[in-house]
Structure 1
Amino acid sequence: MLQKKRDALGVYQLASLLVELDLSDEASQILCADALYQMGWVEEAHKLLLLSLSRNPQRSPILARLALLQLKKGFLYDGNQLLKKVIKIGDTSCLLPIMDIFKDEDRKLMETHCRFRALTILKNKQRDADIKEAIAYLSFAIIASGGSAEDCLLIRAQCYGRLGQKKTAIFDFNAILKEDPGNVQALSGRGFVYLALKQQKEAVQDLISALKAEAGAVIPAILSLKHEARELIAQWLLQHGRTVLAELVATKDLSKERRTLRDLLVIAGALIKICKDAQYHIFYTDVLTANGRYEEALVHLQEAFDHSRADEFANARLAVLQLKKRNMPVAAHSFSILARKDERELRFLLNFVDAKQQQHLSQVQPFFVASSVDSKALGYFTLAILTSRDNPRYLRQRAACLMHLKKYDKALKDMEKVIQNHGSNSLRTRVQDHCSKGLLLLSVSEEEAAVKQYIEALQLDESTALCSIINGPGSGTLARTFHKIAQYNFEMQHYEEAWKITDYGLKIDKNNPELKKLKTRLKREASGCSIH
């Protein structure tokens, strides 16, 4: 009835009767005091509470009520001393049932006092014990407000964070954001806690939301963190931004994604203020380019050149912008350099280049490239492959270049792509491709796989295959490999496979004595004359 502010007199009479029946009934005494308070008889309520306290000096519900009455009468020191006793006992929850009974103006008085005390403690003292005391005062203030003291929740969350109680801090931030989803301080604060917990996805999501709402408040907060934390935030934001941008430009229809592009501009703009490294300026240039703001991108790109590690990455961005002025040779040169450093990065940048320009780029090769086998040519071949959508001609040229540079595994991948898409290629071309792959497999000691490639070539066209074999690795060398693999199959009693390999080996070198002997042994096995 008191909580609903109804019939305080009736409650007082009933509670008084209960006290008369049992003078030790503390709950009834407290009920009497609450009823007297609601009727405006503050002094009488105060005397009754003091009497109850004399019997039990450590009762938090009595101390909390006395504290509020002292504050109401203007005795701030006395009221605060009583609150300190409650804090020392450790029962801050005792205030919860009181708040529905006390009047709004008195609850506000409690909230204001406790908030002030917490801020005073935090301003002057920074030990863990002091922070814990401040948290207790903030808890009183939050309870007194009915849970709506947003600023106190925010300060308490930050205090929990400083004590390492990260999940409790998140609980307070969540309480704020439930009522105010756009609260910048709560979003950034929770983002920092997620950062400490190494929860990348959640941290990035909160910090981006905060930056979109009020970057001017969030950036200084990030800059106030330790160097390692700032670096980690910058890396996470950059990683997220680049992923989103790569997916966006790959769609080739940026007009439908204006909102996402605006968000990326916010992220990129924040990054160049948080960290001066060239990679962040380069990302900002990419976002400007995606937004079609080419002149701004060109001006800003100079920032990347002014910082370390710009190198091929900044030059390649310049090449993208120069393509708008049809400067194909210069762009191709920059792209070819980037191709040698980071093919994935080049693939991303080419999303900014339209199909017609890509076609021109695939054809811009210096006269020396077609017959060259150095790293410079490798860059041009890679550019041609990417801009021509894996044209087999360029794949073959790059494979030959890679083989000369002894990068056999990469060369094999190119030849596998070529063979997978043979389609309408001429018979001669297909035979040569299988021989090329066979030679590469020999280079990485995959002899059995190499033999299969040469057999496939011989099956397609024997004369063309034999010509290719003469050019490399040579008939004698390859015949010895065929004998080795055939001998292994023979020992494993795979007679049919051994016969096939031996037969094709003799097509390569019909005078090879070892292959002839093995064939004779295989014939004996077939006729059942072998004695073991």
Structure 2
Amino acid sequence: ARGVHQLATLLMELDSEDEASCLLAADALYRLGRLEETHKALLVALSRRPQAAPVLARLALLQLRRGFFYDANQLVKKLVQSGDTACLQSTLDIFCHEDRQLLQGHCHARALAILRARPGGADGRAHTKEAIAYLSLAIFAAGSQASESLLARARCYGFLGQKKTAMFDFNAVLRAEPENVQALCGRALVHLALDQLQEAIDDILSALKLGPGTVVPELRSLKPEAQALITQGLYSRCRALLSQLLDTGAPLEDEDTQGLLAVGQALIKIDAGQLDWHLLLVDILMARGSYEEAGTHLEKALHPAPTSEAARARLGLLRLKKGDVPAAARDLQGLAEVDAPDLSCLLHLLEASERQSLAQAAAWEAGTLLDAGQPRRALGYCSLSVLAGGSSACHLRLRATCLAELQEFGRALRDLDHVLQETLGDSDLPRRAEDFCCQGRLLLSLGDEAAAAGAFVQAL
């Protein structure tokens, strides 16, 4: 630094008006710790060009270092108003880390103060732009440690409707801190504003796994329309993920469902009045094997009585886990005709022996109701036996009989078609002949005499 100062002094003797030489001398004096002389040199440079950004930036940093905060604030304000930031990187490289931190802290605090005092309307936009200028200075000063300032600036850009610029800042934070929950939430909202719902859901899911306590207030603060898009998207995604996990048939580990659990709990905190959110959480708890906790939550959510077949079905599954198979069949059968995919997902939570017991109980009850001439009441039990029994031929025949009595011939025929696709041994030929005869009668009921004749011929 001493040699640089001597060289700069020589250059100034050759041309006393040269700003670059003057700044070089001031920088050398700063590096030598001669702050008073640095200040004087910079004042000389400022007197020649009062709006020079390189001079203003150096003076601001120097005054912060010397503790003259009012002067520093005025200098930073002039620097912001100049709008010239091209020189900042090379200027700030000269100063030590501690002094850069002082500038960052000052500019960040000033930006937050501006935002807190931000009025509505056009003035609010002007205040936001001013805050962005201060935050940009803070980011320049901080270098790679600027996450808080980047987050604040990203929100400002979002407020101004500059979505892609906001996305750039959120991405910058996440490159340095991939698990920054606030950045994930912020980027999710930008994705939502850009009609990129799936990307928004991805970010919210990641954020919920890391810090649900931060995410929930963010989501609750959204406008109803935006909140509905996010919550419904989270619900649908979690339903799909849970179904995929259960379809594998493999035992679930806690880590498999930890993220789902966080989402289920968050959805209820956002809107406890949505029954679907409660049922999702119950299903997740059951998938984790926490049946008692699931039962407790379900009872609280459904007090004083179940309000849907989906809710009753969850109660039925919990009863089955306690060994009450007839009661379980009664509660589960109502969902079989209302939402078969949902019931199929629930049945994946059962052991093979439990499904077999349930199928047998449902088939027995269906047969009893059919014998009593109540096919409408029997239909739910028939469908439950089909789903729980893996679409076995005996259960499909039972449902086909029930559907025929209800004159739903098309559905009955589809069930019989599935039965007839199965390969049977010689000992089952009489049963197969009976199936073809039944098929023929159904086809006659549908008015397809030619196809019916073919079925009867095959029966022979």
Q: TM-score, length-normalised on structure 1?
A: 0.75
Matched, 1:428 2:430: no
Match of residue 106 from structure 1 = 99
Match of residue 298 from structure 1 = 295
Matched, 1:266 2:266: no
Superposition pairs for residues 159-198 of structure 1, below 5 Å? 159-198=156-195
Q: CA deviation at 1:386?
A: 0.9
Greater RCO (CA < 8 Å, at least 6 residues apart): 2
Cα distance in 1, alignment partners of residues 406 and 389 from structure 2: 23
Judge which range, 99-108 or 206-215, deviates more: 206-215
Q: CA deviation at 1:101?
A: 0.5
Query: Structure 1's 371 and 431: CA in aligned 2 closer, same or farther, altered over 3 A?
Result: farther
Paired residue for 2:152, among 144, 152, 155? 155
Matched, 1:381 2:364: no
User: Secondary structure of the residue that 1:315 maps to in structure 2?
Assistant: helix
Q: CA deviation at 1:374?
A: 4.4
RMSD: 3.0
Paired residue for 2:204, among 191, 204, 207? 207
Q: CA deviation at 1:324?
A: 2.2
For residue 260 of structure 2, what is the amino acid of its counterpart?
A: L
Q: CA deviation at 1:298?
A: 1.6
For residue 266 of structure 2, what is the amino acid of its counterpart?
A: A
Judge which range, 21-30 or 92-101, deviates more: 21-30
Matched, 1:87 2:80: yes
The answer to whether the 8 A contact 2:441-2:452 is kept is no
Matched, 1:368 2:361: no
Match of residue 34 from structure 1 = 27
Matched, 1:460 2:458: yes
Q: How many residues align?
A: 447
Q: CA deviation at 1:344?
A: 0.7
Q: For 1:208-227, what per-residue CA distance to the aligned partner results, in whole angstroms no more than 9, with x for missing partners?
A: 33333332333223222223
Match of residue 247 from structure 2 = 250
Query: Structure 1's 322 and 47: CA in aligned 2 closer, same or farther, altered over 3 A?
Result: same
Q: For 1:144-175, what per-residue CA distance to the aligned partner results, in whole angstroms no more than 9, with x for missing partners?
A: 12230332222222222222333333333333
Query: Structure 1's 409 and 155: CA in aligned 2 closer, same or farther, altered over 3 A?
Result: farther
Cα distance in 2, alignment partners of residues 217 and 290 from structure 1: 26
Judge which range, 316-325 or 424-433, deviates more: 424-433
Query: Structure 1's 63 and 403: CA in aligned 2 closer, same or farther, altered over 3 A?
Result: farther
Cα distance in 1, alignment partners of residues 337 and 345 from structure 2: 14
Cα distance in 1, alignment partners of residues 441 and 12 from structure 2: 104
Cα distance in 1, alignment partners of residues 417 and 15 from structure 2: 95
Q: CA deviation at 1:371?
A: 7.8
Q: CA deviation at 1:381?
A: 1.6
Structure whose CA Rg is larger: 1
The answer to whether the 8 A contact 2:150-2:173 is kept is yes
Paired residue for 1:220, among 203, 210, 217? 217
Q: CA deviation at 1:23?
A: 5.2
Give the gaps of 5 or more residues in structure 2: none
The answer to whether the 8 A contact 2:416-2:435 is kept is no
The answer to whether the 8 A contact 1:92-1:136 is kept is no
Matched, 1:322 2:336: no
Paired residue for 2:139, among 130, 142, 148? 142
Matched, 1:338 2:335: yes
Q: TM-score, length-normalised on structure 2?
A: 0.86
Cα distance in 2, alignment partners of residues 415 and 167 from structure 1: 58
Cα distance in 1, alignment partners of residues 378 and 172 from structure 2: 61
Query: Structure 1's 23 and 455: CA in aligned 2 closer, same or farther, altered over 3 A?
Result: farther
Give the gaps of 5 or more residues in structure 1: 1-7, 465-532
Q: CA deviation at 1:407?
A: 5.1
User: Secondary structure of the residue that 2:348 maps to in structure 1?
Assistant: helix
